[in-house]
Amino acid sequence: MRVLVTGAYGFVGNAVVRRLVEAGHDTVVLTHRPADVPLPELPISEVFRGDIRDPNALTAALDGVQGVCHLAALTRVRESFERSEEYQAVNAGGTVTLLDALASTRVGSKVPTVVLGSTAAIYGAPERQPIGEDTVPAPGNPYGTSKLAADRALQARAERGEIEAVSLRCFNISGSVNGVGDADESRIIPKAVAVAAGRHPHLEMNGDGEAVRDFVHVDDLARAYVMALEAPASAPFRAYNVGATPASMREIVATVERVSGREVPVVHRPPQPEPPRLVADISRITTDLGWKPECSSLERQVTDAWSAVSGSSR
């Protein structure tokens, strides 16, 4: 099918585009990067430039499209507290604008499929672990709140019959595809490999580093996008957690040191009030789509993240 990818030049978008093309889909992208900014090479049919909140840009990009992988978003949790209105406007408002444009450009009786890049941040910090998709959302930050609003907008349109929709609620994403890793050093694995590469003198860690989070390789996540797009719809709206490997902060540092062969100095800060464990129940996506992680061992994720930073190859 002809598929539009928003946010295609980001860390996840790069991997999703490559998997879509590999699966035989005619892939076009929408980017907000200005025309005078060179774009990385991607195996795509066409590039459209414009903001996700611009109906005119979306109308052009959606021409002839039968599927959308919607990844364009602001994603930094800490930053969202300072820019909460902007996060709501882009993540929630941009999604609504996309859905409006999709409704106005639809041709024929077949409804398009939209796969949304959602997040485990919509759940907040539930006591019950692992976290299932039926957990009552309770986001603890403006980022999670804005993504929950996008999730609900998608569900409402799907239940009205305008689209078929899948929300992929991703946990922590790492690794790299074709040399493109996560450049956001506010996250633990990118920061740890950056310290190992000598970009920073040390890594700051709250408490003893025993807090456990769930990590998935970006290429495994990209496969989930393709499978969600292609799978027959069992319901108008489906939500799936995407996670793979629980790991503590201390385990991550030790793995980065082992993979890189370099020390990662750690400065321990006072413990913060944070949940000790946040991990995904992925039984639904495994059962419904047949998806399972294939390259999401902690060793592989760190190795690929390190390769992207250091220029080495696996």
The runs of H, that is alpha helices, within the chain are 11-22, 55-61, 77-82, 84-87, 94-105, 142-159, 188-196, 218-230, 249-260, 283-289, 298-310
- What is the C-alpha separation between 115 and 237, in angstroms, rounded? 10
pLDDT along the chain (314 residues), means of 10: 95 97 96 85 90 95 96 95 98 98 82 97 97 97 98 97 97 97 95 97 94 98 98 94 98 98 96 92 98 98 96 58
pLDDT of residue 312: 62
pLDDT of residue 106: 75
Domain 2-173+216-242: CATH superfamily is NAD(P)-binding Rossmann-like Domain (3.40.50.720)
Q: Which two tokens stand for residue 197?
A: 């590469």
- Catalytic site includes residue 123: no
Which part of the chain is CATH 3.40.50.720? 2-173+216-242
Per-residue model confidence as pLDDT tens digits over 74-102: 999 999 999 999 999 999 999 999 999 99
Cα 287 to Cα 142, 283, 291, distances in angstroms: 32, 6, 8
- What is the C-alpha separation between 306 and 314, in angstroms, rounded? 9
pTM of the full structure: 0.96
CB atoms within 10 A of CB 183: 12
- 3-class SS of residue 237: strand
Which part of the chain is CATH 3.90.25.10? 179-214+244-279+292-310
- What is the C-alpha separation between 284 and 54, in angstroms, rounded? 35
Domain 179-214+244-279+292-310: CATH superfamily is UDP-galactose 4-epimerase, domain 1 (3.90.25.10)
User: Looking at 9, 87, 123, 143, which residue is catalytic?
Assistant: 143
List all residues 6 or more positions away from 299 whose beta carbon is below 8 Å from its beta carbon: 255, 259
Sign of CA dihedral 16, 22, 23, 24: positive
pLDDT of residue 210: 95
